[in-house]
Amino acid sequence: MGAGPTGEVAQMAAPMTLVLFGATDLARGRLWPALHDLAASGRLPQRLGVLGISRSASTEDLRALAAEHGPGGARLETSERWERLVSDVEAVNGAGDDPQLYERLERALAEREGERFTYLSVAPSLFGAIGGRLAGIGLGRDAGAASRVVVEKPFGEDLASARELRAALHEHFDEEQLLRIDHYLGKEAAQNLLVLRFVNGIFEPLWDRRSIESVQVTVAEAGGVDGRGDFYDATGALRDVGQNHLLQLLALTLMDPPARVAGDELRAERLKVLRSIVPVEPAAAVLGQYAGYDGEEGVAGGSRTDTYAAMRVEVESWRWAGVPCYLRTGKRLAAKAAEIAVAFRPSPHMPFDGADGWAGANRLIIGIQPGERVQLHVTGKRPGAGLELVKVELDFDPGDEASSEAPEAYERLLGDAIEGDSTLFTSSAEVEAQWAAVEPLLHDRPEPQPYEPGSTGPQAADEIPGRDGRRWRPLG
C-alpha cells in the first residue's frame, strides 16, 4: 500500500478480523508491538478486530496484555487507531484441538464483517488439525482471498515432515492463501540488498563467479536459549536458523534479477538458488554446543542438541559454480551479529613496486544486526611521501532518522500479510528445497563439538573456510 502526498500510508477501508492463535505467547513480544506500530504508521484497516484464541485468558486479560506490550515496539507514539484496536480485542477460549472452540469462534466471526486473517503461532503438529477445523467453519479454500493464514516456523523438522505439513495444509487451503513467515526477509537490510543489487548498475555486472570468490552469511547471537529450553532442545541451531534464515539470506544474495521484485517473481528466483544447492554432507559442516547448555531450564541432561552450526555450501549453477559459501549461526557467541559478506576476487597484478600495507580482497558487507549498514572495503593510499596501502571503508549508514522510521521485521511482514502481499513470504517449494539442502546433516548428524560461551564457536569450525585458505570474518 503506497504512501500518499503527505508521506502517510492510506488506511484500508475494508473491515477485517485477525484470528490470533498464540495470543498470550508470541503476541506478547512481537505481534502486539507490530500491530501497535502498524496503527501508528496508518497501515491497519480502519476496522480491524482481533479474536485472540486462548485456553483461559479473558477478554480483559488480552486487552491488558495488548495495552502493556503494544507500545514496546519501535514507534513510541500511541495512536487513537491503536486504542480502538485494543478495545476491539475479544478472547475466544479453548484449545486448538477442541471442536467446541471452533463453534465459539464461528459465532464470534458471525458478528464481524469483512475478510478473515488467521495467525497460527502454534506447534507445527497442530497446523493440519487447526486448518481442517478452520475450513469447517468457512475459512478454508472456499473463502478464497477473503481468508488468509500465516504460519510460524519451523515448517516441519526435515524434508519428509515438511512435505506432510504442506499436504495437510493444501488439503484445506490454496497455496495463495498461505503465508509462511521468515522474519529475516522482513528486515530492512534484506530489502536494502535487493535495491543495492538491482538499482545500482555498478554491481550486477560483477555479480557472478568471475568477479566474486566467496560469500559468508552469519547470524550470531550473544544470548542463550532465554527460557525457550523446551522448544530449542527439540530443534537446535541447524533447524532453528540454519535451514531457513541462513539459506534465505543466501538465496537473496545469489538470486538472478527478477522481472519484478514482487510475489511469485521474487520467490521463483530465490527458489532457483535453493534448488541449485548441493546437499551439504557432514564433512562440510560442524555442529557445536556451548558449555553449560544442558543445565539450562527445559533442556534435558546430557542433551546433544546443537547450539551452533556452520557449513560450506556449493551452488551448482552457471552464475555461481565454484564459489564457496560459508554459513554459520550460534548462541552464546562473542557478539550479536548478522551480516552478509561478499568477497571479490583480488586484482590479478600489483603494478606498484615497493608498495606496503593492506591490499586485501574488496568486500561488500551488508550488516543486518545489531546495526543495519552497508560497507565497501577498497584499498587506498595513506597520505604521505611513501606508498603505504590502507583499507578504506566506504560506508552507507541510514542514520538515526531512517532507523526510527524503518519498520521492524514483524511490522513489515504483518502489514504485508494483512494487505495480501506475499512478496516477503516463503513458498512451500522454497521450504522443501531448504530442507533438501541440509537433509544429509539430519540423517548422518555430526557430533556437536563443545565451545565456551563468549567465544566464536568450536575451533573445528575454523577449518570450514580454512581448508580453502580463508577465515571467518570477526564477530562484532
Mean pLDDT of 52-78: 85
Active-site position among 245, 349, 377, 443: 245
- Structural class in CATH, domain 185-466: alpha beta
CATH 3.30.360.10 domain extents, the chain: 185-466
Residue 289 pLDDT greater than 60, yes or no? yes
Residues in the chain: 476
pLDDT score, position 279: 98
Q: Which residue type sits at 284?
A: A
- pLDDT tens, position by position, 16-32: 999 999 777 766 678 88
**pLDDT, greater one: 125 or 233:** 233
Average pLDDT, the chain: 87
Which residue in 23, 124, 104, 41 sits closest to 77, CA to CA?
Answer: 41
Q: Check if 245 is active-site.
A: yes
- pLDDT tens, position by position, 421-468: 888 889 999 999 999 999 999 999 999 999 999 999 999 999 999 999
Weakest-pLDDT range from 1-5, 100-104, 184-188: 1-5
pLDDT score, position 194: 86
Residue 3 pLDDT greater than 60, yes or no? no
Pick the CATH number of 16-180 from 3.30.70.1350, 3.40.50.10860, 3.30.360.10, 3.40.50.720: 3.40.50.720
CATH 3.40.50.720 domain extents, the chain: 16-180
pLDDT score, position 402: 47
pLDDT score, position 161: 92
Q: Provide the percentage of residues in the chain whose pLDDT is more than 70.
A: 87
Mean pLDDT of 347-361: 60
In our burial notation (b when 16+ CB lie closer than 10 A, e otherwise), range 350-365 reads: eeeeeeeeeeebbbbb
**pLDDT, greater one: 399 or 137:** 137
**pLDDT, greater one: 40 or 306:** 306
Mean pLDDT of 154-163: 90
pLDDT score, position 391: 65
Mean pLDDT of 186-198: 82
Residue 353 pLDDT greater than 70, yes or no? no
Cell 538465496, residue located: 251
